[in-house]
Structure 1
Amino acid sequence: MTALATARSPLVTAGETAPEVTLDDIAGPGGVLVLAPHPDDESLACGAAIAAAAASGRAVSVAVVTDGSRSHRASASHPPERLAALRRAEVEAAVEILTGRADAMTWLGYTDLAAPETEADFAAVSDRLGPLSEVTAIWTTWGGDPHPDHLRTWELGRWLSARHGIALFGCPVWGRVETRWPLPDRLCRFPSAPWRALKARAVAAHVSQMTRLIDDDPEGFMMAPELARHFVETDEIFIPT
């Protein structure tokens, strides 16, 4: 999928003229919890907003749900355990770039493609996240992202939102290139320009996903450079529930 094709997707087209929102509109007065299905989704989906929230003095916590260990399934140099460790180090670096803090990332460590999906699973995640009384917004990937871990993480966000009374926003990743899902009734646009340099650095920190660092799996994932640029150079889409 090229950046040109992405720019013509219905969701991206709608996002270009969506109402602009401020940080207060999408974060509220308190802290922000970001739920990332995989290492790199936090930076791609809402890296600029994370940077803005952290710079405003808000407490930002990024919970990474799965370990990303299946992005290069045929690699001999990076079997799942080694790949998970690499991706954890990458997301730690990315979150520190965005927040200025080394302790803003929580690693939940579910296996890639096995994100939690039951109410019992969600309750266990809630327990691990600890008190959320100071959190006034949850940002996560959108329910229109065509990936099982993204969909399950969206449902986790919905469950946490309902249980704790926290505003929830979906930030599409693969939904930006999806044409089968209907457009949401409401969406808004966070102007990312002041934060794009930080976001670019955070995205680039995910070297295993943005380059051919792992070169012994021709079918392994690598994001096309023009698509990575699209995520950095366009405003972020927030879909309120």
Structure 2
Amino acid sequence: MVSFAHTDDGTAENVWAVAHRSPELPAQPLRIGDMRRLIVVAAHPDDETLGAGGLIARAGRAGVPVTVVVLTNGEASHPASSTHDPERLAALRRIEVSAAVAALAPEALVRLVDLPDGALTERLAEASRAISAEIGPGGPGTWLVAPWSRDGHPDHAAAAAAARQASLIGGVSRFEYPIWAWHWSTPADPIWSDGALRTLDLTPEDWLRKAQAMALHRSQVQPLSGLPGDEAIIQASFGAHFERGHETFIEIETETTSSLAGDFFEEFYAGNRDPWGFETRWYEERKRSQTLAALPRQRFGAALELGCSIGVLTAGLADRCDTVVAVDIAEQPLLVARARLADHPGVTFARLTLPAEWPDGSFDLIVISEVGYYFSAAELRTVLARCRDSLAAGGVIVACHWRHPVSEYPLTGDQVHAEIGGLAGFECTVEHRERDFLLEVFEAAPAQSVAQREGLVP
């Protein structure tokens, strides 16, 4: 753990403000559209407000059920106090956290676990069980948000570890929030390059509720008395980090999932030419027509199709593009695809394991259709980075994915599109959302609509 004290000068907030406006801290927006439940873990009362108060407020106003799990009572916050012993501090801070969470989201539940402050590392099993009890069966849309494992405080690291153990159940999206790292680290510290940073811009209402909640943690933001040992823990310079117009989270990849391997697909295609029904299902024909109709230009030069399968969509792309490079991880579907498009000299096929293997060339169009959720979150980010690097100037990314959960898949379709939507420098110009699938087009910002390109609107 890092050695620091709340009385240290720490890194000034204006240093972080400059870094947040520069490439020094690359972050993508935190997209909360798929959040159906929010469980926030706090090692101590006030962690939830400092690190995730705006998120709690946003979820509460949206009608998302919120539970805050407070692992300790924070009774060790003032070890040198002569006016407040640990028992009195515990009672006070329990009242404060209940009032603060009510200010953030009046319908939110607060679970006080009553583990010893400063000793969470020795009580990980109990902490994990308490968090697991709130997660229940989990499932898509369940968000678990806990202190950052690299925050420098042993109780925060323990809370992160307990959340990790509790989230091994499937379908839980996990995030962590920094608190003390804003104080002891700097923007150049390598800890910030290790995780996928996400930021949530706070609305004025979110910000106000957070400020009101923080003021309710009086034992932390105000002196307990004028005597030595009763000084405020959250002093003005430190508190400034939590008066920003945004909150920062680190998205944690679920360790139990990895990209699906080639063997999975070879077995899936064994003895079955078209296991997904691309050639026979009206659902697939209709979706394919909508995908082609969403292309923002009548014609493209070079196209790349990831996960082409048996080449049915590839045939449609061949009619709209001068050349198409179509890749897949399995050989069996590629045999069918090559036969289907044998008379199209502009179409080439390659068996590649993405993202480790990648086709050469620059492309005007990249199609990611029903393939993104086969990757782990980390490998999907690598795939998208390679897509960005392979796009020609003015290039287009088209993505289309099934939205229903599939137990074997590492990600959901909505998670895939949230990741694509966070690509720096791109904006979504087409969005078609159905109960069954999501179809989106992404172009380099600032992008023109089809009508603008044709001079129909300014």
**What TM-score, normalized to structure 1?**
0.87
The answer as to 2:44 corresponding to 1:42 is no
More strand by share: 2
SS at match of 1:162: coil
Query: Structure 1 residues 159, 16: CA separation in 2 closer, same or farther (over 3 Å shift)?
Result: same
Instruction: Show the counterpart of 2:27.
Output: 18
Deviation of 1:126 (Å): 4.1
Higher RCO structure (Cα 8 Å, ≥6 apart): 1
In 1, the alpha carbon distance for the partners of 2:110 and 2:18 equals 29
Structure 2 equivalent of residue 223 of structure 1: 234
Distance 1:7 1:142, change over 3 A: farther
Contact 1:73 1:217 in 2 (8 A): no
Q: Does the C-alpha gap of structure 1 residues 11 and 237 become closer, same or farther in structure 2, counting only changes over 3 Å? A: farther
Gaps of 5+ in 1: none
**From 106, 110, 115, the counterpart of 1:110:** 115
Q: Which has the larger displacement, 167-176 or 128-137?
A: 128-137
Cα separation, partners in 2 of 1:111 and 1:178, compared to 1, 3 Å:
same
The answer (yes or no) to whether the contact 2:149–2:157 under 8 Å persists in 1 is yes
Task: Report the alpha carbon displacement of residue 144 of structure 1 after superposing the two structures with TM.
Answer: 1.2
Match of 1:71 in 2: 77
RMSD over aligned CA atoms reads: 2.7
Residue 130 of structure 2: aligned partner: 125
Residues of 2 paired with 1:119 and 1:149: CA distance?
Answer: 10
Equivalent AA in structure 1 for residue 195 of structure 2: D
1:199 aligns with 2:205: no
SS of the aligned residue for 1:35 comes to strand
- Aligned residue runs from structure 1 range 47-196, under 5 A: 47-101=53-107, 104-115=109-120, 117=122, 120-126=125-131, 128-129=133-134, 131-133=136-138, 136-179=142-185, 182-183=191-192, 184-194=194-204, 195-196=206-207
Note closer, same or farther for the CA distance 1:206–1:63 as it changes in structure 2 (3 Å cut): same
- Cα drift, residue 23 of structure 1: 2.5
Q: CA deviation at 1:128?
A: 4.8
1:189 partner amino acid: T
Distance 1:9 1:230, change over 3 A: closer
1:94-115 per-position Cα deviation (integer Å, ceiling 9, x unaligned)? 00000113x6111011111012
Residue pair 1:71, 1:220 contacting (<8 A) in 2 also: no
Say whether the 8 Å CA contact 2:132–2:167 is kept in structure 1. Answer: no
Q: Tell me the distance in 1 between the aligned counterparts of 2:238 and 2:106.
A: 26
Partners of 2:148 and 2:128 in 1: CA distance: 20
**Could you tell which deviates more after superposition, 170-179 or 51-60?**
170-179
Asked whether the equivalents of residues 81 and 230 of structure 2 are also in contact (C-alpha less than 8 Å), the reply is no
Change (3 A) 1:46 1:159: same
Q: Percent identity?
A: 30
8 Å contact kept, 2:167–2:174: yes
1:236 is aligned to 2:247: yes
CA distance in 2 between partners of 1:11 and 1:150 (Å) = 26
Q: Which runs of 5+ in 2 are unaligned?
A: 1-7, 253-458
Q: How many residues align?
A: 237
* Paired residues of 2:13 and 2:240 also in contact (CA < 8 A): no
The one-letter code sitting in structure 2 at the alignment partner of 1:193 is: T
Q: CA deviation at 1:232?
A: 2.0
Aligned pair in 2 of structure 1 residues 78, 2: CA closer, same or farther (>3 Å)?
same
TM-aligned CA deviation for residue 233 of structure 1 = 2.1
> Which structure has the bigger radius of gyration?
2
Q: Return the alpha-carbon distance in structure 2 between the equivalents of residues 81 and 130 of structure 1.
A: 30
